[in-house]
Structure 1
Amino acid sequence: MRIRLTLALAATALAGAFVAPATATAAPTGPQPIIGGNVVASAPWAAAVFQNGAFACSGSIIAPRWVLTAAHCLRGTVSVRVGSVHRSSGGTTATVSAIHTRHDLALLHLGTSVATTYVALADTNPPVGAVNDIYGWGRTCMTCEPSPQLKTATVRVTAISGEDSDGGPVIRSAKGNGVSWQGDSGGPQFHNGRQVGVSFNGNGTTSQNYSSVIASRGWITEISGV
């Protein structure tokens, strides 16, 4: 089951992310619990995705007019807030003029350019055992509201395998000091300062799956030029 704000919590089953920019910087190293992990003080590349004016998912900006998120997040009128760690204030807001999808990845073409620090995308999947960073505004406990401030956590890669619901390979990982949950969908996962995945789903307790950016790297370049 995908991580969505509209998902119901069932009693018997709970289903269901920095970085070197085009003008490169490294992933944040300061205090960074997502469920667990820590809050983030600065993330100029972060993008909060809204559906019909309500927060829906997390994302990242990869170029002046392109945001990368999850396809399953998108319904109705879509807009984004970029460059603020607070999903409801600060940064720059922009409308979305076009949406392109492949597997569970989505590229949002913004109606206006946003000048900020952009995420750099990886060219190879992370190795099994790698400790990566995830980011998002998702729920901070099973039944809590989404976090008002961006959060981050470390996770450990367990496999590159399987498929998201639309046929794309996923990066599977186990909980580190935190785990993704509803609202973290579309958020980035980074390895060595470059984005390797986009949050697809997770169980909110022990593990999560991220759609592989690398598997769709050619498509991303074709659509966005990145």
Structure 2
Amino acid sequence: MNVWNSRRPVFETDERGTHLNTAWEGHRRFAYDLVLHLLPGKIVELGTYYGASHFAFCQAVKDHGLATECYAVDTWVGDKHSGLYDESIYQSVQSSSSNYYPGISRLLRMTFDEALHVFPDSSIDLLHIDGLHTYEAVKHDYESWLPKLADQGVILFHDIAAMQDDFGVHRLWEDLQKQYYALQFEHSYGLGILMPKGCSPVTLSMHANWNVIKSMYP
């Protein structure tokens, strides 16, 4: 019996090509498959840029008719790591959101802290943290949003393998993976998968079969 199904989805936003060559491109297939295995009721990501990750989640929801709500939180003004954005980036994301994923994609143009009040505690099944990458910033995002995560929920951390400049996600990741069930990819700057509030049958199976699953996403 297959413990994990790996698919070859068509990402509709590739027609625009604006987000290709971003650091998240290498994780889109896994993100798509993760949604189909977890069947989350609510996905929230902190930090969206051109939307490679957000629209991968949305594509899975659309293709399989899921009832999942997909939220993207970002100011779309940039930061010292990503650089400053011009307004065309937000306009591109907004256009893709409305044209390809109406009723699925929800954009919240605000700071992460401002968005906290939007979500009740224990309401988010899949949380993706990809904002400012200093140690202090990512630690703050993790600690402030952890109460919003549902029991047996999953947190994704991008850039756990990025060591340049003052990037500090890897430091937080080193601490967290010692405390909780954790899985990781090293390619495309690294992606950490954390279960800080316990594992579901799906994530327990992922943990037990990780070497096989990981080999599906080179």
TM-score w.r.t. structure 1 length?
0.25
Q: Indicate the structure (1 or 2) with the bigger Cα radius of gyration.
A: 2
TM-score w.r.t. structure 2 length?
0.25
Higher RCO structure, 1 or 2 (CA under 8 Å, sep 6+): 1
Relative to total residues, which structure has the larger strand share, 1 or 2?
1
